Amino acid sequence: MAPARKPVIAGNWKMFKTASEGAALARELRPKVSMIHDVEIVVCPPFTTIPAVAQALAGSNVGVGGQNLHWEQHGAFTGEVSGPMLADAGCRWVVVGHSERRQLFGETDEGVHRKAKAALAAKLSPIVCVGETLAEREAGRTLEVVGRQIGGALGGLSDGEIAGLVVAYEPVWAIGTGKTATSAQAEEVHAAIRAQLAKSHGQKVSDGLRILYGGSVKPENVKELMAQPDVDGALVGGASLTADSFAAIVRYRG
């Protein structure tokens, strides 16, 4: 029997919230979820907002993450942020390979792999994102595309490294569009990811991997998504920008 996997609900604030706005949101969110201990809760603010949010959430049950990182620890990389910098600013998590990074900034599977390794080296838990475009889904290539992304990002990682990360399946066509994959569509892809990891790293590693769903997750649809056997949490975009809606998602069990 597969082990129980503790769900992860992570909010990706994208390019929203100044330091003062982010701290205010964190202070509002904190008491609304303070009694939730059976879910790992994470918020991922913009870089400039991380220290203020980390301070506002210090000592709480809400972790803080970055939205990206460079694969080197330091160097002549103008405009980049490293894993040790994120950790020093108060992060324990980092989003890696989000589809907006892949589409708008040319990130590759190889780059996502290097960033995941860098995150783990900095003692950060990477949230490794994968997902297909609408054209790829309509062409029947969803499992092929996601399988390639998983292989590129996680191939060559040790069992211990896999245990230190989570995967987020985010169909590109469902991000910010209001469209959501049906629970059956989400489960199909999550189950395929788990089967792929079972082949590459063994059943024990696969059973322990937490796979989140992302793409227009809202209080209204989170319960049905979370009822699927291979859906272990959510990566939440717009609905994480208000304390009430994000708290409602975190409290999906009722």
Residue 242 resides in a domain? yes
Domain region containing 65: 8-250
Residue 103 lies in a domain: yes
Residue 56: which residues within 8 A CB-CB, separation 6 or more?
Answer: 22, 23, 26, 27, 30
Residue 1 included in any domain: no
Q: Which of 98, 113, 190, 201 is catalytic?
A: 98
Number of domains in the chain: 1
Residue 180 lies in a domain: yes
pLDDT tens per residue across span 191-229: 999 999 999 999 999 999 999 999 889 999 999 999 999
pLDDT of residue 106: 95
CB 68 within 8 A of CB 112: no
Active-site residue, selected from the candidate residues 100, 170, 187, 190: 170
Instruction: At 236, list the tokens.
Output: 């939440």
In a domain, 2, yes or no: no
Does the structure show a pLDDT above 60 at 1? no
Domain contains 3: no
Query: Could you tell me if residue 131 is inside a domain?
Result: yes
Q: What would the pLDDT profile of 137-148 be if each residue is shown by its tens digit? A: 999 999 999 999
Q: Is 187 a catalytic residue?
A: no
Model confidence pLDDT, tens digit, residues 2-33: 568 999 999 999 999 999 999 999 999 999 99
Q: Is the pLDDT of residue 236 over 90?
A: yes
CATH code: domain of residue 183? 3.20.20.70
Residue-wise pLDDT tens digits, 148-164: 999 999 999 999 999 99
107 has catalytic annotation: no
